[in-house]
Structure 1
Amino acid sequence: MSESDRIFAQPQTQVPDFTFNEDVVRVFPDMIKRSVPGYPTIVENIGVLGARFATPNSVLYDLGCSLGAVTQALRRHVKSDGCRVIGVDNSAPMIERCGEYLRAQDAMHQELLPVELIEADILKLDLKPCSLIALNFTLQFIAPEQRLELLTRLHSALLPGGALILSEKLRFADEQEHDLLTDLHIDFKRANGYSELEIAQKRTAIENVMRPDTLDTHRERLLAAGFSKVVPWFQCLNFASLIALP
């Protein structure tokens, strides 16, 4: 059961860089719901999109799967024969808890897609041919200089008719636009019960770890990686999700 996110509720002399450790895993569902506007809509609709792009007897990847929210959505929606989901994360606590959540899903539903969970660095992953790849708020934690190479490898693994779904926090080239949407995001966090201290300390913890790009940067990089079309399908404040077609 998820706990309330109180990780940054007490003053810290030195705020360490954010990591997906056991403390974060315990509160992650609460943290993500209160921090990322539109997150439930994105997750559920990745399942719907998956049902459109999944081809029979193919692999569906959830890269940076965390607790498996996207994996569960794909299992709810994709009905193509012979498909299976591979969830990958480099956090051992995430993979362990993700397995618990998936076993609970299995207990409530029948005839769901089989799942394989892998603890691995997605930069070193041996990719299988696949019809769907979800990168749901994952690329922003990859070093910027490694992003194009990763996306190029993902494009090469996609089967004809497949798709990459990329969800990311955005930054904006226009300073006023960036400041407005940043302030609105902080308002969103306040409305969800985070204190000024929690907001400030979380920002300090994550600023060296998560490096967002502009929408134009994402589009140009995806096209450079070999994708033929990039279609934004969702945005709420400074969070967005894109469909990239091979």
Structure 2
Amino acid sequence: MKKNNHDTLFTTPLDKSARFSFDEQVVACFPDMIRRSVPGYGQMLAMLPIFAKRHCNFRQVGTNGKKVSRVYDLGCSLGAVSFALAGEFAPDDLQIFAIDISQPMIDKAKTVLDEHFPTHDINLVCADVCDVVFEPCDMIVLNLTLQFLPVDKRLILLKKCYDALTDGGILILTEKTHLTDEQDDAWRVERYYDFKRANDYSEMEISGKRNALENVLITDTLEFHHERLAEAGFERSLTWFMFLNFASVVAFK
């Protein structure tokens, strides 16, 4: 694979009205941005096929008429979740629907996935995940996606996910979170910025991205995520991964 472009989006001061968006510039440097900005991202991806092997029990029928496990990757960006799953499953085992609202993201993901997994059943769809009509499935992944949705649409989407999952299916929800205690939250946020500094982000880049994401990325507390999952119908959910202010939850149907 070609070397990823370095993330230099916030090396110059931004206009006060600038907002983060998943456009061509972000697509070009997205792998580098994620690697340097999301602690534990690689480990979280690596665990998804392991979870899938436990909970994807071929309860759906694919386009070839054979039994498959259907998986949704909501807010797929460049298709990292699909890539991780396809790398550990045979082409006929999974039917993956990877959905993102950004056409540049979908276009790049298709190029990468077609190159590496041309015979896998991976369907890339440019759409708002809130508008998707789900088919029955074994697994749904919301990887750093819910935090970008309007707050009033989050529970509605989770209820749709719950309804689509078959009994025994799972939802993986990975999010940036905050704490209710202001002192503890401030300490954890500052340690996150230390993580970014250790990954060679400058103070201007850290500040620039923070300003660009204001009112674009809206976090919830980890406790609220569990409460909302319960309200959506999931009787059981647990936090399986946490690194600074990032957490991943598995919810069971």
* TM-score relative to the length of structure 2: 0.92
**Residue in 2 aligned with 1:126?**
133
**Residue in 1 aligned with 2:174?**
167
Which runs of 5 or more structure 2 residues have no equivalent in the other structure? 59-67
* 8 Å CA contact retained: 2:235, 2:252: yes
Matched, 1:66 2:68: no
Aligned with residue 108 of structure 2, among 97, 101, 121: 97
Deviation string 1:16-45 (CA, Å, 9 cap, x unpaired) is 110000000000000000000000001111
* 8 Å CA contact retained: 1:15, 1:201: no
**Residue in 2 aligned with 1:231?**
238
* 8 Å CA contact retained: 1:50, 1:77: no
Q: What SS is found at the alignment partner of 1:186?
A: helix
CA distance in 2, matches of 1:34, 1:69: 15
**Residue in 2 aligned with 1:48?**
50
**Residue in 2 aligned with 1:204?**
211
Q: What SS is found at the alignment partner of 1:52?
A: helix
Number of aligned positions between the proteins: 242
* TM-score relative to the length of structure 1: 0.95
Question: How far off its partner does 1:13 sit?
Answer: 3.4
Question: How far off its partner does 1:100 sit?
Answer: 1.0
* Cα gap change, 1:79 to 1:103, in 2 (>3 Å): closer
Deviation string 1:69-121 (CA, Å, 9 cap, x unpaired) is 111111122459542111000000000000111022127xxxx6410100000
* 8 Å CA contact retained: 1:55, 1:131: yes
**Residue in 1 aligned with 2:61?**
none
**Residue in 1 aligned with 2:229?**
222
Aligned partner letter, 1:10: T
* Bigger mean CA offset, 21-30 vs 172-181: 172-181
What's the % identity of the aligned pairs?
A: 43
Aligned partner letter, 1:103: D
Aligned partner letter, 2:211: T
* 8 Å CA contact retained: 1:51, 1:77: no
CA distance in 2, matches of 1:12, 1:218: 32
Q: What SS is found at the alignment partner of 1:209?
A: coil
**Residue in 1 aligned with 2:22?**
20
CA distance in 2, matches of 1:236, 1:125: 31
Aligned with residue 178 of structure 1, among 182, 185, 194: 185
Question: How far off its partner does 1:202 sit?
Answer: 0.3
CA distance in 2, matches of 1:242, 1:80: 27
